[in-house]
Structure 1
Amino acid sequence: MQREASKPFYTTPFFVFTILMIFKIYLSWFVIFGASVEALPLVTAIFSIWVLFCLIERFSDKRKMVCYMIVNIVLTSIYFAAIMYYKYYGVIVTYRALQQANQVTQVKGSVFHLMHPYFLLIYVDIVVMLLLQAFSRKFRTWGRAKARYRTWISLGFIVSLVFSFGAVWFNRDIVNEVKQAQHMGILNYEVYTIASDLFKGSDKPVQVTPEMVKALKGENALDPTQPAQFKGLAKGRNVIVIQLEAFQDILIGKSIDGIELTPNMNKLAKENVYFKNFFQQAGQGNTSDAEYLLNTSLFVPPNGAAAQTYVDKALPSLPKLFKTEGYDAVTFHTNDVEFWNRKELYAALGFDRHYDKTFFKDEDFLFFGASDPVLYRKTAEEMGRLQKEGTKFYANVISMSSHHPFDLPEERRLIKLPDKYQGTFVNDYITAENYADHALGQFIEELKANGVWDNSLIVIYGDHMGMPVYSLTDHEKDLLKEYLGREYNYQDMLNIPLIISVPGKLEARTYSHVGGQIDLLPTIANLMDLSLKNQVVFGQDILNNRNDLLPERYYLPSGSFITNKAIFVPGKGYEDGETYPLPEGEEPQGGPNETTKDEYDRALQLIKLCDDYVKTLPERY
C-alpha cells in the first residue's frame, strides 16, 4: 500500500478536520458574538481543537478515523448547544446545564422554535462522514499516522496546549461570562468551568447580618428615622400572589391598530398600585426561580435552578412567616409538581400543600396541563371554600398557558393583529398574552363574586421575559421598534409588571422607581405587618424605598445591575461595560443616566454575600 506520508498536508485528516471545525467556530461566533470576528480569540479556538487532534495523530493508528469522528461529533454538539442555549438565555452553556436535561422533553416546542435551519449545517459533514465510514474502506484507512510525523505532532500538541492555557489564564478574571468565553474560546471556556468547579477553594462563608446587606444596598435604601408607610395596611387579609407566565411590561397600556392587547392588566394598573420599572431576576430555573425569589428574597444560585440547588437548605421564607400568623400556605400550578423539582422546593419553602396536575387533571389541556381558565376557575372555588371555613391563606397562583413558544391553537386566539405581524414570533407572543389576560380577567371576576377579592391583598407580576432579544429576527425587531418607538433591548426584555391591590385600602398610583422580584417578600411583609427582625433579606420594601440596586444573574452576565437610572452590563470589567438608560426611569437627584464603579462593586458584593448566606443555612433534613 502506498504510504500516505508522501501526500500533501492539505489531504490529511488533520488539515481537513481543522477546516471543518473553523467553519463551525465561525458559525457559533456569528450567532453568539456577532458578525465581526476578532483574530486572537478565533486563533485561540483553533489551538484548543488542535490539542485534541494532536493527541489523535500521536496515539491513534488503525482507529484514527473513528477517533476523529467521535471528537468531531462531541465538539460539534458543544458548539450546537452553545448556539441553542444562547438564543434563549443569552449566556454560554456549560456542563452545569445538564441538570436541565430531564426538562427538555417537556419544552421541546421551545427548543424547535429557537432552531434556525442553517444551524443544522453544523452537522452536515458528520452525516456525510458516517456514510463514508460505513461504506468506504479507503475512508476508514485514511491518514493513518506514520512515525516521521510524530515529532512535529508532539511539538504541535505542546504549542497548542500552551496557547490554550494562556487564553484561560489571562482571561480568567473577566466577570462577564460571555466575554470570558469569547476571549478564551468556547472550548477552553467549557474546560475552565469544569476545572474551576473541581478546584474551587473552600473559603469559609461570611456570617451575614441584615446590617451588612443594608450597607451594600446603599445609605439611602432605608431611613430608620421615618416610620414605614402602609405598615399593616392589609393585616389579617388573605394574600394571593399571581405569577403570570412570560408577561412583559411592554404590553401594559398598549394597542395595535385600535386593538387593546391586555385590557384586564391595563385596568388593574390604572385602579391599583402599579410599578412600571419592575424587573425579573430569575435565572436558569425561570418560573421556579421566580417562585424562589418571591418567597425568600434571596438571589438565585450562580449555577443551576434554585429548585435543584438550594432545596436541601432550611430556607427562611414567606410561607414560614405566614404560618407563624396561623395562615395556610398553598400553591396552585397545573403541571406535575415534579417538574423543575417543585415538590422539594415547596417543602423547603414551607408550603403546607400544593395543588398540581392531580388536582386540575388534564381538563382543557394546553401545552403542559390544564389551561389558565381551568386553573383560575378551580383555584377560585378552592379559595372560596377556604374562606368560608374561616381559613386564612397565603396562596401562590402560577399561570402557564402563555408559555414559550406561544403557539396557541387557532381557536384560542382572541385577537387578530395586522398582516405584517402574521407568521412572526411577536404575533404569537402578543396573542398568547392576550389569551392569558382574558383568563386573568375571568379569575378576578370569580374572586369578586365569591367575596375573596375584597378580603385579600393581591399581588400580580410577571415571572420572566417572553421575547429574548437574542432570538428575534430583524423583521421582528423592526416590528417591536415600531411598536415601542425605540429599539427593543435589555430594558424592555427584563421589564415585567408589578401590580399591588388592597381593595378599599390602597389608593391607585403608578411608581417609576426601580424594583425587582427580590423585593416582593419585604414589600408584602410590610403590608401584612410580618416581622423581619433579624431575618436576612436581600430585597427592600419598594413602597417605602425609592432607591434600589438590583444585581442581575444569568439572563445578563455577572456584574450586571439595574438602578433607577439604567441597566449596566460589564465588558471585561466595569471600564468597558455598556449602560442602557431606562426609557421611563426615575431620575435621582444630581446625576445623568449613568452608573458608577461603586454600584458595580456593591452589586458583585451583594451576590457574593447572598451565596455565602445560603451556604451557612442549616440543612433541611
Structure 2
Amino acid sequence: MKRINIKSSYLNIYKDKTLDIIKQNKLFWVFLIIFILKSIIFTTIIQASGAAGFEISLLGNSLAKGFSYMLFSMMMLSFSFVAKGAGQWKVMIVLDMVLTVIIISDVFYYRGFSSYMNFFLLDQLSMTEDLGGSVIALFRPIDLLFILDFMFLSWVIKKFKDAYKNKIRSFKSFCLILTFSFIFLAVYYLDFNFEYKSKIALVENKLEYYHMPEEKMVMLGPIGYHIYDGFNYFNNKKPFTLSVEDEKSVKEFYDEKEENLSDNEYKSYFKNKNLLLIQVESLENFVINREVQGQTITPNINKLLNNSMYFDNYYEQVWNGNSSDCDLLVNSSVYPVREGATFYRYPNNYYPHSLPNIMKALDYNTFVVHPDMAMYWNYKPALSAMGFEKLYFAEELKVEEKIGLGISDKEYFQKTLEIIKKQKQPFYGVTVTITSHTPFDLPKEYQYLNLKEDLNKNEMGKYFQAIHYTDKQIGNFIDNLDKEGILDNTVIVLYGDHTGVHKYFQDKINMMKNKEEWWSNNDNKIPLLVYNKNLPSRTISTYGGPVDLVPTLGYLMGVDNKHYNTAMGRNLLNTNKDFVILSNFEVRGNVTEEEKNRYKTYLILSDKLIRSNYFYKKQ
C-alpha cells in the first residue's frame, strides 16, 4: 500500500500558493461571515415562540454550533473557486441567493408545519399552487434580516471586483477547502469509533437521536441540514423492508396494545345506523361554548353537544401532510410518515383495518365528498386505496362560489346533501370543509359576527368570523338532513382536522392587546363530537387523537374487533390507557416517564410500517 507523505503534500500546497489564493480572496471571507451570521440568526429565530422573534437567551444554542455552520458554509462557498475572473464573485452572489431562499422557505414552512422544506416536498410543489395567501400570512418583519446583506453587497463588490479580473480557477483551493471542511466535520460529528461501526452509521445514529427537525436544524445549520436531507431523501427512495429487529418491535407493539377488556355499554351502541363524518378545517377546541363580544362563536356545534359524546382531551396529530394527514389518521389509524406527505409518497398503500374497509364488512355503502381536486395531494388514489367505493371531488361538484382555497362551505354542503340523498343506506360517508382555512379571509357579506374594528382586522377576529361562518353552514346542513328524514338514523362525527389560528399565528396572539385570557393558548386541542338525535349528553375525558377514531367508531358501530385489531390507535371508550402522542413526539396524559419514552417510538414504528407497506404484505 502506497504511503502518503503528509509533510510533502503540505509543502506542495505551499509552493503552489494555494493557501495564499484562499487567504487573499477577500470576498470569500466576506460571504463566509454572511453565511455564518444568517445561519446563526435563522437557528435562533426558529427556537423562539412561533419562530417570529430573536431571543438573546436562545442565541447560545446557535453560537455553540457556529463551528459546524462555518464548515458547511465553507463547503458551499468552495465552489466559487471553480470559476475564474468575475465568475468567482458572481458564483458567491448566486450561492448567497440560494441560501437566502432556502432559509426564508424553511422559516415560513416551519411556522406552518413545525418542519422544514425538504426534497420530498419539492416533489409536491404542484400541490401548493393555491396556497399563496397562506404563505404570505406566514411572513414576519424579522425575515427582512435575511436580505439585509443585499443592500450593501453592491458596494462591497464594487470595491473588490477589480481584484477579480485576473483571478484564475483554482481546483486545488476548491479541493482543499472541501476536504478540510469534510475532515473537520467528521471529527466534529463522529467519535471515530472504528471498532464496530462505519463513520456514516455513526452520523446517522447521532442525528436519529434528534427526532424533531428543529433539533437537527440547530445541530447542522441550514446548509448541513439540507445536505443531510438530500442523503435521507435518496436513501428513503429505495424500497424499504422491515429488519428482524423491526419485526420484533411490531410484535411487541401489538402485544402491548391488546388490552382484552370486557365490553361495556358502548359496544354496538349505533349498530346499523348511517355513519357520517364532518371534518372541519382548522377547528380548534377553544371556541366551543364560547362567546366573543357577546356573540356565540359556534352556536350550532354547541347545540349538537346536547346530544353528543364530547371528547374534551382530543389533540391534533398531523405532520407534513397537514389536512391530508388527518384523512389518513382518521380513516387508517396510522401515524403519518416523518418525511414528506404520506398521501403523496404512498398513495396506494393498503390498510385492511381502514374505516371504509371495516364498514364494508358490515355491508355499508362507502363514499367521500372532497372539496379539493381529485389529484390534489393524491387524494383520489389514496382514498380509493383505503377502500372508499364512491369519490366526489371538486370536478364533480362543479364549483360556482369559491372562497379562499376552494368551494364555499355553503355551496359544498348544498351539493353534498344532494349526493347523500342518492346514497343507498346504511352508508359511511366523509365530508370535508375548506372555507375556514388560513388566512381566514372571508368576503364582508359572510362576516356574520359584529366585531369591533380592531379585532375584526386581526388574525383572531378573522378566525372567529371564519369558524362562525362554517358553523352556520354545518347547522343548515344538519337541519336539511333532518328535513329529509336522514338524520334520525344517522350518527354524525364532527371534528377539527388540525388547529388553526394558534398553529400559524401564536406569536401575533401573544402580542395582542386587550385580548381575553382564553384566546391565549389552545394547547393543540381539536374537538371531537359523536352526535345522534337520541343520545344523551356526556363528556369523555380520555386522552386521544385522530389515530384512535377507527377503533373507537368501530366499537360503537358493532364491528368485530378482529377487523381493526391491526389499527395503531385504541378504543377511547374502552381502555385503561390514557395518553396521546403529538406529532412532535410529545406525550400527553396520565403516563409515567418510562411509558412516555416507549410511546414516542410509535411514530417511528408507524413510519416504517407505511414505508414497507406492511399491512399489504401481511394480508
What's the TM-score bracket when you normalise by the shorter of the two chains? 0.7 to 0.9
2:253 corresponds to 1:213 = yes
Q: Aligned AA for 1:458?
A: I
Q: 1:345 aligns with which of 376, 379, 382?
A: 382
**1:177-216 correspondence to structure 2 within 5 Å:** 177-199=213-235, 204-205=242-243, 206-207=246-247, 212-216=252-256
Residues 302-340 of structure 1 show CA distances to partners (whole Å, capped at 9, x for unaligned) of 222221122222222111222222221111122211211
Q: Take 1:227 and 1:96, find their aligned partners in 2: how far apart are those partners?
A: 44
Asked if the contact 1:45/1:188 (under 8 Å) is kept, the reply is yes
CA distance in 1, matches of 2:364, 2:577: 32
Could you give the per-residue CA deviations for residues 493-532 of structure 1, whole angstroms, max 9, x where no partner exists? Answer: 521000001332x321012221110111111111111123
| Amino acid corresponding to residue 37 of structure 1 in structure 2 | L
Task: Determine the structure 2 residue equivalent to 1:371.
Answer: 408
**Which letter does structure 2 place at the counterpart of 1:65?**
W
Distance 1:483 1:287 in 2: 29
Q: Which residue of 1 aligns with 2:5?
A: none
Report the equivalent of 2:345: 309
1:328 equivalent to 2:365? Answer: yes
Residues of 1 paired with 2:113 and 2:105: CA distance?
Answer: 12
Q: Is the 8 A contact 2:365 2:428 kept in 1?
A: yes
By how many angstroms is 1:379 displaced? 1.6
User: Is 2:397 aligned against 1:397?
Assistant: no
Residue 73 (structure 1) aligned with residue 97 (structure 2): yes
Displacement of 1:70 in angstroms is 2.5
SS at match of 1:597: helix
Q: Report the Cα distance in structure 2 between the residues aligned to 1:300 and 1:263, rounded to whole angstroms.
A: 33
Matched residue type, 2:284: Q
More displaced, 494-503 or 418-427? 418-427
Report if aligned partners of 2:320, 2:338 keep a CA contact under 8 Å in 1: no
C-alpha contact (below 8 Å) 1:332/1:397 kept by paired residues = yes
- Normalised to the residue count of structure 1, the TM-score between the two structures is 0.83
SS in 2 for 1:406: coil
Cα distance in 1, alignment partners of residues 259 and 166 from structure 2: 71
| Displacement after TM superposition at 1:49 (Å) | 0.4
**In 2, Cα distance between equivalents of 1:41 and 1:176:** 17
Structure 2 counterpart of 1:16: 30
Between Structure 1 and Structure 2, which shows a larger proportion of helix residues? 2
User: In 2, distance between residues paired with 1:540 and 1:294?
Assistant: 12
The amino acid that maps onto 1:271 is N
Contact 1:97 1:304 in 2 (8 A): yes
Matches within 5 A, 1:384-463: 384-386=421-423, 390-463=424-497
* 1:603 paired to 2:617: no
Give runs of aligned pairs for residues 493-504 of structure 1, distance below 5 A: 493-504=523-534
Deviates more, 1:36-45 or 1:5-14: 5-14
1:457 to partner: Cα distance = 1.4
SS of the residue 1:119 aligns to: helix
The answer to whether the Cα contact below 8 Å between 2:284 and 2:527 also exists between their aligned partners in 1 is yes
Provide the secondary structure at the position in 2 that maps to 1:443. Answer: helix
Q: Partners in 2 of 1:159 and 1:75 — Cα distance? A: 21
- Structure-2 separation of matches of 1:507 and 1:208: 44
* Residue in 2 that maps onto 1:28: 42
Specify the alignment match of 1:477 in structure 2.
510
Matched, 1:548 2:540: no
Tell me the residue number matched to 2:136: 112
Aligned-partner residue type, residue 616 of structure 2: P
Q: Does 1:561 align with 2:587?
A: yes
Determine if contact 1:560/1:600 at 8 Å carries over to the other structure: no
Amino acid at match of 1:239: L
Contact kept, 8 Å, 1:168 with 1:188, in 2: the verdict is no
Cα deviation, residue 7, structure 1: 12
Matched residues in 2 for 1:131 and 1:367: separation?
43
Pair 509,286 (structure 1): closer, same or farther in 2 beyond 3 Å: same
How do 1:69-148 and structure 2 match up within 5 A?
69-123=93-147, 125-126=149-150, 139=161, 142=164, 145=167
**Residue number among 162, 165, 186 corresponding to 1:165 in the alignment:** 186
Distance verdict in 2 for CA 1:342–1:182, change over 3 Å: same
Counting only pairs closer than 5 Å after superposition, residues 157-306 of structure 1 correspond to structure 2 as 157-169=178-190, 171-172=206-207, 173-199=209-235, 204-205=242-243, 206-207=246-247, 212-217=252-257, 222-224=259-261, 226-306=262-342
Q: Which amino acid aligns with 1:540?
A: R
| Deviation, structure 1 residue 223 | 4.3
Task: Give distance in 1, aligned partners of 2:603 and 2:40.
Answer: 37
Give the whole-Å Cα distance in 2 for the aligned partners of 1:543 and 1:524.
9
Q: Is the 8 A contact 1:207 1:613 kept in 2?
A: no
- Deviation per CA, 1:31-62, whole angstroms, max 9, x where unpaired? 21232312221332122101222342366555
Shift of 1:210: 8.8
Aligned to 1:533: 562
Question: Does the Cα contact within 8 Å between 1:289 and 1:306 map onto a contact in 2?
Answer: yes
- Cα distance in 2 for partners of 1:209, 1:51 equals 39
Deviations 1:44-100 (A, max 9, x none): 212210122234236655521232122222212211111111111122332222133
Alpha-carbon distance between aligned partners in 2 of 1:140 and 1:617, rounded to the nearest angstrom: 65
Q: Please, what TM-score do these two structures have when normalized by structure 2?
A: 0.83
Cα distance per residue 1:79-135 (max 9 Å; x no partner): 1111111111122332222133112211111001112355245345458768999xx
CA RMSD of aligned residues (A): 3.3
Amino acid in structure 1 at the alignment position of 2:472: H
Task: Name the CA distance, whole Å, in 2 between partners of 1:156 and 1:235.
Answer: 70
Deviations 1:392-417 (A, max 9, x none): 21100001111111011111101033
Gaps of 5+ in 2: 1-18, 49-54, 191-202
- SS in structure 1 of the partner of residue 363 of structure 2: coil
Aligned match of 1:52 in 76, 89, 100? 76
Identical-pair percentage: 24
Q: Is the 8 A contact 1:273 1:510 kept in 2?
A: yes
- Distance in structure 2 (CA, Å) of the matches to 1:374 and 1:199: 45
Tell me if structure 2 keeps the 8 A contact 1:314–1:617: yes
Question: What SS class does the counterpart of residue 515 from structure 1 fall into?
Answer: coil
How far apart are the structure 2 equivalents of 1:313 and 1:16? 50
1:512 is matched by which residue type in structure 2?
Answer: S
Q: Judge which range, 476-485 or 527-536, deviates more.
A: 476-485
Amino acid at match of 2:516: Y
Contact 2:609 2:615 in 1 (8 A): no
Aligned partner of residue 465 in structure 1, secondary structure: coil
Moved more, 15-24 or 80-89: 15-24
| Cα distance in structure 1, aligned partners of 2:541 and 2:24 | 63
